[in-house]
Structure formats: C-alpha cells, structure tokens
Amino acid sequence: MFKTMRRFKQQLSQEKCIEILTNEPHGVLSLISDTGYPYGFPITHWYDEKNGHIYFHGAKEGHKMDCLKQCDKASFCVMDKGFKKDGEWANVIKLRNDEPSRYYCLDGVFI
C-alpha cells in the first residue's frame, strides 16, 4: 500500500509515532475534494492507543464529509515541537537515530 521510505534511516519507529500522536494535539488532515484538488486543514485529534484509531471532531455534513464520501483516501501529518538552533530559522526535529532533520511527516504510516 505504501512505498518504502527512501531515506529509511530517518524513519521513525512505531513507538515514536505513537508517542507523537499521543502527545501532540494538532495535525493537518488532507483529503481529496470533490473537484479533485487537495484539501488540507489543521485539526485537533485524539489517538486511542487501545485500538490504534485517530478521532477527529467535525460536523456530520459539510466539505470534509463531502470529500470523504467521494474518496476515502486521506493523509494525516503530525509533528512534534522540535527545537531551534541559535542563529537558524528552522526548527530541528529529532529522528529515530537522533540525527537532526529539518522536517518529517507521518503519512498513514503506523496509523
């Protein structure tokens, strides 16, 4: 279903993904709109470790539900807070191997 990550040494462990999903309340949910264009929006979530499900709050009708009715594929991205090095503008996120990287995204992996 998912391609193998090219830079696999930077891939997060399942435990780290669960830690981020549990501790970080915000993410970006991306869907495919009824016009075929991507529709990404910030949203709060709750991760249930018992069953491995992510829950979102939303109305029973509207643009999000229209998107899900026409295409059930989605991407959900959550990032931890990272840290900023002196003199640099970008946050640094620690990866599994503790080497700094500028960014990462959870795209359906371990969800």
- In this prediction, residue 66 carries a pLDDT of 92
d(CA 96, CA 98): 5
User: What does pTM read for this prediction?
Assistant: 0.70
Which of 18, 15, 14, 24 is CA-nearest to residue 82? 24
> Would you list the DSSP string of 72-98?
---EEE-----EE-TT-SSEEEE-TTS
pLDDT in tens, the chain (111 residues): 678 888 888 788 889 889 999 999 899 999 999 889 999 999 999 999 999 899 988 888 999 999 989 998 999 999 887 766 777 766 555 544 444 444 333 333 333
> How many other CB atoms are found less than 10 A from the CB of residue 46?
12
Give me the sign of the Cα torsion angle 5, 32, 28, 65: negative
